[in-house]
Structure 1
Amino acid sequence: MLNLVSLVIGGLALLLAIPAFLPLLGWVNWLILPLALIGLVVGVLSSKTSGRNLNIIVIIVAIARLMLGGGFI
Structure 2
Amino acid sequence: MQRSHYENISVGVNADIYDIEMIKKSQKSMIIAIYKQSEPFVVYLRKQNNNPNLYIEFEKFINILNG
Greater helix fraction, Structure 1 or Structure 2: 1
